[in-house]
Amino acid sequence: MPPIEAMAFEVPVLTTKCTSLLEVTEGLCNYVDNPLNPKEWVDKMEEELKLAEKEKVIALMEKYQSRNIAEQYIELFQRL
Protein backbone atom coordinates (compact mmCIF):
# COMPACT_ATOMS: atom_id res chain seq x y z
CA MET A 1 0.00 0.00 0.00
CA PRO A 2 2.80 2.57 0.57
CA PRO A 3 3.36 3.17 -3.17
CA ILE A 4 -0.37 3.64 -3.76
CA GLU A 5 -0.71 5.92 -0.74
CA ALA A 6 2.22 8.04 -1.96
CA MET A 7 0.67 8.26 -5.41
CA ALA A 8 -2.60 9.43 -3.86
CA PHE A 9 -0.70 12.35 -2.32
CA GLU A 10 0.87 13.06 -5.72
CA VAL A 11 4.32 12.00 -4.56
CA PRO A 12 6.41 10.59 -7.42
CA VAL A 13 7.02 6.89 -6.86
CA LEU A 14 10.03 4.93 -8.08
CA THR A 15 9.93 1.27 -7.20
CA THR A 16 10.90 -2.13 -8.57
CA LYS A 17 9.06 -4.64 -10.69
CA CYS A 18 9.83 -7.26 -8.05
CA THR A 19 7.12 -9.21 -6.29
CA SER A 20 3.63 -7.82 -6.95
CA LEU A 21 4.52 -4.11 -7.03
CA LEU A 22 4.02 -3.74 -10.77
CA GLU A 23 0.66 -5.52 -10.62
CA VAL A 24 -0.58 -3.68 -7.54
CA THR A 25 0.38 -0.23 -8.84
CA GLU A 26 -1.03 -1.12 -12.28
CA GLY A 27 1.94 0.42 -14.10
CA LEU A 28 1.18 3.93 -12.82
CA CYS A 29 4.62 4.67 -11.32
CA ASN A 30 8.18 4.52 -12.46
CA TYR A 31 10.07 1.25 -12.11
CA VAL A 32 13.59 -0.08 -12.17
CA ASP A 33 14.17 -3.45 -13.80
CA ASN A 34 17.16 -4.43 -11.69
CA PRO A 35 16.84 -3.27 -8.07
CA LEU A 36 20.48 -4.24 -7.43
CA ASN A 37 21.80 -1.79 -10.04
CA PRO A 38 22.54 1.59 -8.38
CA LYS A 39 23.12 3.26 -11.75
CA GLU A 40 19.63 2.36 -12.90
CA TRP A 41 18.17 3.90 -9.74
CA VAL A 42 20.14 7.10 -10.30
CA ASP A 43 19.20 7.26 -13.98
CA LYS A 44 15.51 6.79 -13.19
CA MET A 45 15.63 9.44 -10.47
CA GLU A 46 17.22 11.87 -12.89
CA GLU A 47 14.50 11.29 -15.47
CA GLU A 48 11.32 13.25 -15.20
CA LEU A 49 9.09 11.08 -13.03
CA LYS A 50 5.64 10.65 -14.45
CA LEU A 51 2.71 11.38 -12.17
CA ALA A 52 -0.31 9.15 -12.50
CA GLU A 53 -3.63 10.72 -13.30
CA LYS A 54 -5.39 11.56 -10.04
CA GLU A 55 -8.61 9.75 -11.06
CA LYS A 56 -6.75 6.51 -11.76
CA VAL A 57 -4.95 6.70 -8.42
CA ILE A 58 -8.23 7.30 -6.57
CA ALA A 59 -9.78 4.29 -8.31
CA LEU A 60 -6.74 2.23 -7.34
CA MET A 61 -7.07 3.33 -3.70
CA GLU A 62 -10.75 2.31 -3.72
CA LYS A 63 -9.85 -1.06 -5.20
CA TYR A 64 -7.60 -1.82 -2.23
CA GLN A 65 -9.84 -0.50 0.56
CA SER A 66 -10.04 -3.00 3.39
CA ARG A 67 -13.80 -3.44 2.90
CA ASN A 68 -13.32 -4.40 -0.75
CA ILE A 69 -10.53 -6.83 0.12
CA ALA A 70 -12.66 -8.41 2.88
CA GLU A 71 -15.58 -8.83 0.46
CA GLN A 72 -13.30 -10.56 -2.04
CA TYR A 73 -12.10 -12.98 0.66
CA ILE A 74 -15.67 -13.73 1.72
CA GLU A 75 -16.66 -14.38 -1.89
CA LEU A 76 -13.68 -16.66 -2.35
CA PHE A 77 -14.46 -18.63 0.84
CA GLN A 78 -18.08 -19.02 -0.24
CA ARG A 79 -17.03 -20.38 -3.62
CA LEU A 80 -14.66 -22.87 -2.01
Q: 75 pLDDT exceeds 90?
A: yes
Nearest to 17 by CA among 30, 7, 4: 30
pLDDT digit string, tens, across residues 9-49: 888 889 999 889 999 999 988 899 999 999 999 888 877 55
pLDDT at 8: 86
What is the value of pTM for the model shown?
0.59
Query: How many independent structural domains does the chain possess?
Result: 1
- Number of residues assigned to the chain: 80
Find the domain containing 14 and state its range. 2-79
In a 3-state reduction of DSSP, which class is residue 14? Answer: strand
